[in-house]
Amino acid sequence: MSAHAIDHRLDDLAATARAALVREIDAGGAWDADPHWREAFASVPRHLFVPYYYVGVRGGYERRWGEDPDPRRREEWLRGAYADSPLATRMRDGELLSSSSQPSLMANMLAELEVREGDAVLEIGAGTGYNAALLSYRLGEELVTTVDLDPEITESARRHLAAAGYRPAVVTGDGARGCPERAPFDRVIATCSLSSIPQALLDQCRPGARILAPFATGLIALRVRDAEHAEGRFLPTPAYFVPLRGGALPGREGTDAYLDDLPHRARSHELFRFLLTLTEGGLAPDEARALWEREGWPRRERYGITVDAGRAWAWLDDPDPEGPYTWPLP
């Protein structure tokens, strides 16, 4: 079979796999509020953003790539590119540095961003560029800025975006500092886990802007009143992302030891891990356990974060800084 015929076969397989992925995400209702995202996922070819990725095998990781000389392996790579699962795209000494997030989680996050026509969006964490491409399709590339600290990541994201026909602003820099030269922004979305709410983001947001970010294994959705104040609750969705500056996922060391003494339902319910991570530094593990049991194993959406005049705190149910359940944040 000629190379041209093989390329056509892969193109057909990609279209079929992409349509199947859209149906799978659609079944979860992610786009009920904004069907434009369905069009974006149906149109933007994910495989162009993951020319290679790594899958876990016994003893480590195996690389799959689109230029594999074995046609069966190329098809395996392509099918994997459209699986509803995260893909490890950059490794160093066995450590995950960058990934392409699970598409259904991306769909939920983009829907929860609540974009409107004309919104300027800042993305923190360029990744493969796939998320920036989806935003560019939905809003127009001139309204999208994506920033990442690693120049290798921004360069590859820029190449992937160009291959797919998109040219948003791709900036190499510290995401915690935002991107002042492209501000102000109406929406900010982070595709890496934050351990604090950077003041720079509030400074660069218009009043009424929405910030959506992974935080303590959850997703916090903040509404910005002005540069001094933002507040919001966590979404029900769990979320595990690579931290903003690399390294291990946030979390309190020894968490499992505190889970061992809990009833089975509590032990198997990762919401306790979320509480421990969210309140680290502000609540001792034994206090966290007592609170968690007393409040009936509270779900993520009962928690929130407030930023006000340079202070930041997490809370359960009541955002009042003098309330019964508040914990300082960095």
- Other Cβ atoms less than 10 A from the Cβ of 23: the count is 11
Tens-level pLDDT at each residue, the chain (330 residues): 434 444 678 889 999 999 999 999 999 888 887 889 999 999 999 999 999 999 877 777 889 999 999 999 999 999 999 999 999 888 777 777 778 999 999 999 999 999 999 999 999 999 999 999 999 999 999 999 999 999 999 999 999 999 999 999 999 999 999 999 999 999 999 999 999 999 999 999 999 999 999 999 999 999 999 999 999 999 999 998 888 864 334 444 444 555 555 555 544 477 888 998 898 878 888 888 889 889 999 999 999 999 999 899 999 999 999 999 999 997
Which residue ranges make up each domain of the chain? 3-233, 255-328
Give the separation between CA 323 and CA 328, rounded to whole angstroms.
12
Query: Which pLDDT does position 254 carry in this prediction?
Result: 44
Active site members: 98
**Residues pairing with 147 in the sheet:** 124, 171
Tell me the CATH architecture of domain 3-233.
3-Layer(aba) Sandwich (3.40)
Check: CB of residue 68 under 8 Å from CB of residue 77: yes
The reported pLDDT for the residue numbered 185 is 98
The answer to whether 195 and 251 are in contact (CB under 8 A) is: no
CA dihedral 321, 326, 248, 159 (to 10 degrees): -40
pLDDT at 317: 96
